[in-house]
């Protein structure tokens, strides 16, 4: 796919990986419309770096009405969508057996992706690309014991990616990127030394930069020969052994 003049929708674009992907797509000539929830300052920072025909939109991914309003906005502004990047998500330590925790994580990290993707596909006119941002923790053998609901939601998202690929081919191609430790605000207020220590857990012995995930996203979107793939971009952490 030639990305120039394409309409790209990126969820969770106010910081981190989402922001980097928005900027990378704009640099390729896309008009980008992205969502944010609470980080309006970050959203303004992202928007400032995009093309003049790009927009930000506040969406609560736990509310179906909010998602529906967003897509009415897109339909009004662009009429169609060429690219969807499902990047939004939440993650923090949750219990193994606290059902309310599981429901909240799945509502945002999985069920809202289903809703967003369905509405986006309706505007793709049977031709487009979808990328889901999952996680190295979506691989069962790389699971982290403190965030069971998150890992399970990302594992389900991996499977959903492959089911979408089977059902939407050959016109709409669907892939996923599963990052390892990326330097993003999801880590909280870590110091540089703390980031350095976390990065050493990966074989590359450093944190992955959001721009490196964005580079993979652009490459996948440009390639018309791949669908149903989960691209692991984890700095080698899934290969670490005892």
Residue whose structure tokens are 């790389």: 142
Output the CA–CA distances (angstroms, integers) from residue 203 to 138, 146, 151, 198, 239, in the order listed: 19, 22, 21, 11, 8
d(CA 90, CA 137) in angstroms, rounded, equals 13
Pick out the chain residues at pLDDT < 70. Answer: 241-242
Give 57's strand partners.
Answer: 35
Output the CA–CA distances (angstroms, integers) from residue 133 to 75, 205, 210, in the order listed: 24, 22, 12
Residue whose structure tokens are 């928007």: 47
Q: Are strands 128-133 and 83-86 parallel, antiparallel or unpaired?
A: parallel
Tokens read off for 140: 């069962």
pLDDT for 241: 63
pLDDT for 242: 55
Under 8 Å between Cβ of 216 and 177: yes
Residue whose structure tokens are 């996680």: 135
pLDDT for 14: 96
Q: What are phi and psi of 178, to 5 degrees?
A: -115, 95
Alpha helices in the chain (DSSP H): 16-27, 40-48, 64-78, 99-106, 112-122, 148-168, 192-199, 210-222
Residue whose structure tokens are 């207020």: 189
d(CA 210, CA 42) in angstroms, rounded, equals 15
d(CA 25, CA 88) in angstroms, rounded, equals 17
pLDDT for 146: 81
CATH class for the region spanning 7-237: alpha beta
């Amino acid at each position: 796919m030639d990305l120039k003049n394409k309409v790209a929708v990126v969820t969770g674009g106010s910081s981190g990986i989402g922001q980097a992907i928005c900027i990378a797509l704009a640099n390729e000539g896309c008009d980008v419309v992205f969502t944010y929830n609470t980080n309006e300052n970050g959203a303004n920072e992202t928007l400032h770096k995009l093309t003049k025909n790009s927009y930000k939109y506040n969406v609560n991914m736990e509310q179906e009405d909010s998602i529906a309003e967003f897509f009415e906005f897109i339909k009004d502004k662009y009429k169609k969508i060429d690219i969807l990047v499902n990047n939004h998500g939440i993650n923090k330590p949750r219990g193994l057996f606290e059902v309310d925790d599981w429901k909240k994580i799945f509502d945002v990290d999985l069920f809202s992706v289903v809703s967003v993707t369905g509405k986006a596909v309706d505007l793709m006119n049977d031709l487009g690309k979808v990328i889901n941002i999952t996680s190295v923790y979506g691989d069962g053998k790389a699971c982290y014991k403190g965030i069971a609901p998150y890992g399970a939601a990302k594992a389900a998202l991996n499977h959903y990616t492959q089911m979408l690929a089977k059902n939407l081919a050959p016109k709409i191609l669907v892939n996923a990127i599963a990052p390892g430790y990326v330097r993003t605000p999801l880590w909280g207020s870590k110091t540089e030394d703390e980031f350095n220590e976390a990065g050493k857990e990966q074989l590359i012995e450093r944190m992955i930069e959001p721009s490196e995930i964005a580079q993979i996203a652009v490459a996948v979107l440009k390639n018309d020969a791949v669908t149903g793939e989960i691209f692991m971009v984890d700095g080698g952490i899934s290969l670490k052994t005892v």
